[in-house]
Amino acid sequence: MDYNLLLIMIGICGVSYILLSLLWYTWYLGIGPTASSHIARQIMIKRVLELRTQLNQQDTLDKQTQPHLTKDPKPLNSVKVYELGSGWGGLSVSLAQQSILYDKKQGRSRLTTPIWIQSYELAFIPYLYSKLYWHLHQIWNKAFQAQTEAQAQTQTILPVRLIFQNTDFISSIASLEAKSILMAYLCPKQMTRIADRLAQINQPLGIYLLSLTFALPGHQAIHVERIPNVFRDPLYLYLI
């Protein structure tokens, strides 16, 4: 048996599967796993971190001024972030990295509550890549952190809880907690699906949605800003 020929055939089949899978999901979803630009990603992350801080502070104030809320099992600083259509995982991983740095700059420790991010991606190949990338990133971070802490003798900060799911996010919208933050860089077809699902629910969810480029049909944004790139892409903030 010619093993070289066998390996070539396996390689061709593998590449063909990847390409066909990407083409199929691009047609099915109406958008491919397109990465956002660097500057758009940085601005989205900044807005998410600012909004998360505001919501955490509001939650803390509410529990201090309204004693009956102290019985709520939900811990402080537990605002959850979801990415709808995470593609190759670049935005979620960058958010995870910068969340820790942001909290350190703010003088906060994550010894009691981890940062919680959940990312949905229906296309299998980008989802698989995202999970592998995040797994390797965690291994590297743990090794680096162990070396740094051995030298500095500091306490360990809990890692980010970043979860990638290979599922359609539409079915999960109604079950999300109030004050959650959604990130999206989708397409008109998927934004319409979100709007249709919200119309079916027909009640306020108290959830914030940050959408890059594409508006949410039938909803009024509470804030719109332009990304300083070539296309001046809009970044919409909704309270749904």
- Which residue matches tokens 């758009």? 40
Residue 137: pLDDT band by 50, 70, 90 thresholds? confident
Confidence (pTM): 0.81
Distance between CA atoms of residues 222 and 13, nearest Å: 49
Give the chain's mean pLDDT: 82
Region 3-7: what's the mean pLDDT? 77
Residue 238 burial (CB < 10 Å; 0-12/13-18/19+)?
buried
Of residues 209 and 173, the one with the higher pLDDT is 209
78-127 residue pLDDT tens: 679 999 999 999 999 999 888 877 766 666 555 445 678 999 999 999 99
What does the pLDDT read at residue 36? 82
3-state helix, strand, coil in the chain (%, to 5): 50, 15, 35
Q: Which helix (H) or strand (E) holds 226?
A: strand 223-226
What does the pLDDT read at residue 73? 45
27-47 residue pLDDT tens: 888 888 877 888 999 999 999
Distance between CA atoms of residues 162 and 205, nearest Å: 23
